[in-house]
Structure formats: structure tokens, C-alpha cells
A and B are shown apart, each in its own frame.
Chain A
Amino acid sequence: MAASSTNSRVLPGFGLGLGYTLVYLSILILLPLSGLVFNASSLSLPQFWDIATGARALASFRVTFGASLAAAGINAFFGLIVAWVLVRYSFPGKRFVDALVDLPFALPTAVAGITLATLYAGNGWIGRHLEPLGLKVAYTPLGIVVALTFIGLPFVVRTLQPVIEDIEPEIEEAAASLGASRLQTFLRVILPAIFPALLTGFTLAFSRAVGEYGSVIFIAGNMPLISEITPLLIISKLEQYDVIGATALAVVMLAISFCLLLAVNALQWWTANRHKATAGVGQ
């Protein structure tokens, strides 16, 4: 407390900066979100429960969370490999590849959606080769996984890269000189060190995937009960003037987003502390 009062005396702009921040956040975030909760409060608890556990809603949760989990898992596995390759190996065009990893952040989701749908359709560049194998991707739940994998791709790579860069070569050398094989070193020394970051990237990709709409709707086929994601169900309820139904589902989504956000924050705190602890040992 004492520190904060001396700070504000030296540097100007604390009241102005914080005041503006709080007012802006209240108008743009808190007011709209409280409107959502206010609208939902017109429902009794049993009514809310009925909407949130209706057959179509439950199916949409299953599709949304199942596909998001699968996509985040795919991204964790391949993202680890990509991050490792980008940090540890050198090859021509590496800087170009590194910059390309951010494409899903920069490419509008609608563009990603129509492009992936075209690529994986039965006559598309990729779909053409998968269909004879009996793999239908576009307009099935598998297509949703593909779109969500694209959307979440940068998260794991970008959270892992700095952590892999920070691994001290001495630790690996010590493991090697104590007789560990390269695989043992990776599993026992490197993997534990990068695990919090891997989990953070996984959670970030998952949380982005759960709310994703634009890239999914073009490739999903959007069959109720089979390939309909929750954000789409919210929109179709809204289009049928079922505002209360849309609100109830949105509250469920919002609560889940909050939990995921808190999980990410806790994970990042864990990573930072762990980092500090290992740095302390190193000195």
C-alpha cells in the first residue's frame, strides 16, 4: 500500500489510465455480459436445465467438445514436433516457415472455412485421395476436427518455442554424459521441463476451438444431432426468434470460457514459477 502511494506521486496518469480502462471495460464488456445474465435470469432453474440438456443441445456439446479435444490433441502432438524442428534444426526457408505458422491468426476464419471445405470435399485436392480410402472428411464431424486443427495450430507452437529455446544445453549434456540415451533424455529431462507450456498451448487451442464458428460451419455439414456445433445452434435459435433458448446456451458457453480462461491463467502462473525455480537452481 505504501509503495503504491509513492508510485502514484512520482509518475502521472494512474487515475486517468485506470479510470479510462475501467469505464471502457464496463461499457464494452461488463454491461453486455450482465445483459446476457440478466436475460437468462428470467428463466427458472428447471427451464434453464431443460434447454441446456435438450437432445439437440447435448448433441451439440458432444460434437463441439469432442472435436475441440481431438483438434487440441492433434495440435499438441504435431505442434511439439513443429516447435522442436523450428528451434533445434536449421533448413532452408526456415524463417518463412516460422512466419507461416501464424497464418491461422491472420487469415479470416470464413476464408479458412471455404478453403478447407473445398480441399476436403469429394472432388477437392485432398478429399479426392481420401474418399477412395473410405474417409469422408468434408460435411462430417471429421471436417470439424480439420477446421479446428487449423484454427488452433499456432497456439501450441508459439507457447513451446520460447521454452524450448530456454532449455540449457548443459542439462542435456549432463544427462548424456551420465549415460542416458537421447530418448531417455527427452522423456526424463526435456519433456518435464516443457510440459507446463505444452499443457498451456493445448488449453489455449482447446478454448479457441470451443467457441469457433466461422471456419467450422462451411465444412461441418451442420446436421442437427450429428455435426452441429453449439455456436451454430445458438445462431439458429436466434434466427427462429428463440432468444431465451439462445441466451441459455450462451450462458453455458460463457461459463465454460471463464473456466478455461482461469485454467490458462493458472497454467501460465505455474509455468512462470517453475521457470523462476529452475533459473534459481541454475545460478
Chain B
Amino acid sequence: MSAAAGRKANAEPRWVRWTLMGVGLGFLFFFLALPLIAVFVEAFAAGVPAYLEALKDPEARSAIWLTLLVALFVLPFNVVFGVAAAWSIAKFEFRGKALLITLIDLPFAVSPVVAGLVFILIFGAQGVFGPWLAAHDIKVVFALPGIILATMFITFPFVARELIPLMQSQGKDEEEAAISLGATGWQMFRRVTLPNIKWGLLYGVILSNARAMGEFGAVSVVSGHIRGETNTLPLHVEILYNEYNSVGAFAAASVLALLALVTLVAKTVVEWRMRKETEMLDAALPPEKVE
């Protein structure tokens, strides 16, 4: 009852409310909804057969496969790193922790172009390891390993960034109880830690997968744009667009836009599950404060 009265006292006048809603939603419509609609309209501009034809193109196929391959390769590394980093940062105290967290954030701040460039400087022909790699006939830059390295650089923080605050908020009582009851480290991790963090882990995987499949700048620098070989799907989009093949470019783009939509749905579902779980936990605990 008091909440309803409070809401009335705290509400803006009706015309202010309508104006704010109009401005806010109008902004989102022009900047988010319209581009999303435009991708699909442009992709189907020449009809469904032309769209399917564009996706059947062997170069489009190989770009899709390369993109999937890179993501499949990178994700396990991100998961292992994320769990290891979050475990040591959230459950233990040590010197230099703040610095370590800042270091993990670094790829979010570094330009993707710079991220790609550093691998050229190390593994490229004039790079530190360049002559050695050339002598042993190993290709890193302008080949698959370079694309994977650049993608790993860009995407490794996502899982760790999700897990650190989650594991910090969960504390370490449950794990300590498991250990004092005689569980081994692995048993504790599988039976206690993993069930606690599974939604957060999935959330981080979803985000890093979206970025891994969509990364453009860093991959563009190291890939060398060899058609049918080192072209990921985003690079394929660029090439077709620059060739004024609008239908082809937007057909490939629509696959990536679809991926983005799936990502948003999966993310929303996981967020909902996480909220439900914390609510259940809060309900199980005695209330601290009576409102």
C-alpha cells in the first residue's frame, strides 16, 4: 500500500513520462531496431533464391566453417583460463590482485587493430620469431594459427569477467566444508564449485563465442584475406561489400545477425535462470531486514 502511494509521489508528470519514453524508445528504434531489420531486408532484396545462392557459394561455405572452427578452438581455452583466474582471484588473497584484474581487462580497452598488430610484430616476416618460423616452414601470420591467437587475445576476458564477481559473492564456505569433510580437490570442484558457477560459466561462454565469431579488426590484420582459406565470415562480408555485391554481403551478414539474435536470446534465458537461482537462495535464507 505504502509502495503504491510512494510510487505516485515519485512519479514524473504524465507528459514528462511520455516524452522520455518517446525519446528513449525512438533512439533505440533508430539505432538498434532499424539496422537489424535492414540486414535482413537487404539480404533478401533480390529474392530468396539469390539469398540461398549467395550462401551456397563455396567461399561463403569455407568462411562459415573457418569461423566455427576458430570459435570451437578458442572457447575451451577461455573456459579453462576463466575458471583458473576466477578461482585464484575470488577465493584467495594475494598481493597484486588489483593489477592482475586490470591486466585481464586489457583486451577490452586495447584496439582490435593493435591486438592484431602485436602478433604481426612477433610472428611476421620481420618479427622476432619470423626468421625461425620461416626456416622451419611454420606459418602463423596470414594463416589459421594467427587468426586463433588474435581471437584468443580479444576474447579471453569474457569468462573470467563473469566468474570473478560471481565466485566472490558466493564466498568459500561451501568449498571449505567439502574439503573438511574429506573431499579431494577435484571432487570439491565437480560437486560444489561447478554446480554453483554453471550459469555464470555458460553466460561467459555465450558472450565470448559471439565475440569470437564476430571479431573483425584483429582478425583482419593477421588473416591476410586469402579467399577460401583465411577468410572468416566477417572478413567475407567485407570483401563482398567492397565488390559491390550487396546481396552476397548482406546474406553472409544475415547469418552473423542471426547468431547475434541467438546470443541475445540465450543470454536473456541464462540471466533469467541466474536471477531465479539467487531468488531461491534468498528465500531459503532468513530475511535480514523486515521492510
Contacts and interface: CB of A to CB of B under 8 A. Distances in A.
Chains A and B come from one and the same complex: yes
Interface of A: 3-4, 7-8, 10-14, 16-18, 20-21, 24-25, 28-29, 31-33, 35-36, 38-39, 78, 81-82, 84-86, 89, 91, 95, 97, 99-112, 114-116, 118-119, 125-126, 149-150, 153, 169-170, 172-173, 176-177, 182, 207-208, 210-214, 218, 230-232, 234-235, 238, 243, 246-247, 250, 253-254, 257-258, 260-262, 264-265
B264 A100 contact: yes
A29 B121 contact: no
B20 A85 contact: yes
A7 B16 CA distance: 54
Interface of B: 3, 6-7, 9-10, 12-13, 16-17, 20-21, 23-25, 27-28, 30-36, 38-39, 42, 80-81, 83-85, 87-89, 91-94, 98, 100, 102-114, 117-122, 124, 126-128, 149, 152-153, 156, 172, 175-176, 179-180, 185, 188-189, 207, 210, 213-217, 220-221, 233-235, 237-238, 241, 246, 249-250, 253, 256-257, 259-261, 263-265, 267-268
Count chain A CB atoms within 10 A of each CB in B7, B80, B92, B189 and give the residue with the most: B92
A12 to B, nearest CB: 4
Contacts, number: 294
A103 B264 contact: yes
Count chain A CB atoms within 10 A of each CB in B6, B25, B42 and give the residue with the most: B25
Given A119-B34, A246-B117, A254-B110, A213 B217 contact: yes
Contacts of B250: 114-115
A112 B38 CA distance: 10
A222 B1 CA distance: 60
Nearest to A231: B113
Given A12-B179, A100-B28, A110-B253, A20 B117 contact: no
A169 B188 CA distance: 43
B146 to A, nearest CB: 11
A38 B267 CA distance: 41
